[in-house]
Amino acid sequence: TAGSRSCVTVSGQEITVADTGATEGGTRDEKTQTRVEAALPETATQENVFDAVAPLLIDKLVHGINACVFAFGQTGSGKSHTMLGTNEDPGLISRVCAALFPRLTAPFMVTASFCEISPSEQIRDLLNPVANQSLPVFYHSLFGYVVEGLSWLVCHTVDDALAFLRQGDFVRRAGDPTGPARSSCIFTLRIQQRAPDESLLSAELKFAVMAGISPKDKIPSVWGFQQVMARLLKVKHVSDPERNPDRDRALQLTEKDGKLVKLLRQAIFGNAFTVALVTI
């Protein structure tokens, strides 16, 4: 807007946020610096984001390692656009899918699911939406926490995966106009393929667009990235066999951890590769 200026600067791997303004005692001029593995300026393109995130992620997946990309940021900061994009300017999910399928070794099987989690923890299947839908979450000894009744559709080609992504995104946006901003969504691909030694390689890729935080919120949302990651890190520690021999019991979270935390547990457990993508 007219008269405004950017308070965020990027230099190499460092992000600087300036906090300036009037105070009771005069003026405030504070700066906070954060060092990250990759920092992109506001002029970055979707291709720039893909180049910073995707190569290592895809390499992990084709070798049977689970991967997850979290996108978190204030409402309107661009996290949904970065992840989902448009038909004319595809986002990270579409670009990763397009690069992933040619790397898979035939024969392979890929299945996709897409769900939305509201602030009240109602889970909706975006690939098979039903009015007033609220799917339950339960613990499976093999797959961990899963959504009961969630659709898993076979992706014979990358076009199938992208069609399911667009279908779910359309359903998500067609509901309450404020819904997408205040709800989280998870697009998941389960991948099975044959390794060179004929063994079966399995991996799961999750893309999680976390609910936005409004600047009007007086306190951080319970869906905030920090709260979710804190709980996930707790799960990582209690799930370490060396820390807790009673491994299966440790993996079963309590009700207070919430459905979103349960579904994302695999993102950092074991040999998982995790990317936190924060938009400012």
Query: Of all helices (H) and strands (E), which one includes residue 244?
Result: none
More confident residue, 43 or 216: 43
pLDDT of residue 123: 93
Q: Is the pLDDT of residue 126 over 90?
A: yes
Mean pLDDT of the region 119-138: 88
pLDDT digits (tens, 9 = 90+) for 76-88: 778 888 999 888 9
Burial of 227 (0-12, 13-18, 19+ CB in 10 A): middle
**What's the rounded Cα separation, in Å, for the pair 103 and 269?**
24
Poorest-pLDDT segment among 26-35, 121-130, 131-140, 147-156: 26-35
pLDDT of residue 220: 42
pLDDT of residue 20: 63
More confident residue, 150 or 250: 150
Which one-letter amino acid corresponds to residue 276?
A: A
pLDDT of residue 233: 60
Beta bridge partners of 279: 73
pTM over 0.85, yes/no: no
Q: Is the pLDDT of residue 49 over 80?
A: yes
User: Which candidate, 214, 169, 208, 217, places its Cα nearest to that of 189?
Assistant: 208
pLDDT of residue 230: 62
* Contact partners, residue 63, CB within 8 Å, separation at least 6: 201, 203
Q: Is the pLDDT of residue 218 over 50?
A: no
pLDDT of residue 225: 55
Q: What is the mean pLDDT of the chain?
A: 78
Question: Which 3 state secondary structure label does DSSP give 134?
Answer: coil
Written as six digits, the tokens of 81 are 């656009």
pLDDT of residue 73: 78
More confident residue, 43 or 205: 205
Count of alpha carbons within 13 Å of 196, Cβ hemisphere only? 2
**What's the rounded Cα separation, in Å, for the pair 194 and 204?**
15
Alpha-helical (H) ranges within the chain are 46-62, 79-84, 92-100, 158-174, 179-182, 225-239, 247-251, 258-264
pLDDT digits (tens, 9 = 90+) for 254-270: 555 678 878 887 666 66
pLDDT of residue 274: 85
Q: Is the pLDDT of residue 161 over 70?
A: yes
Beta bridge partners of 21: 28
pLDDT digits (tens, 9 = 90+) for 171-216: 988 865 544 557 889 999 999 998 878 888 999 999 998 876 655 5
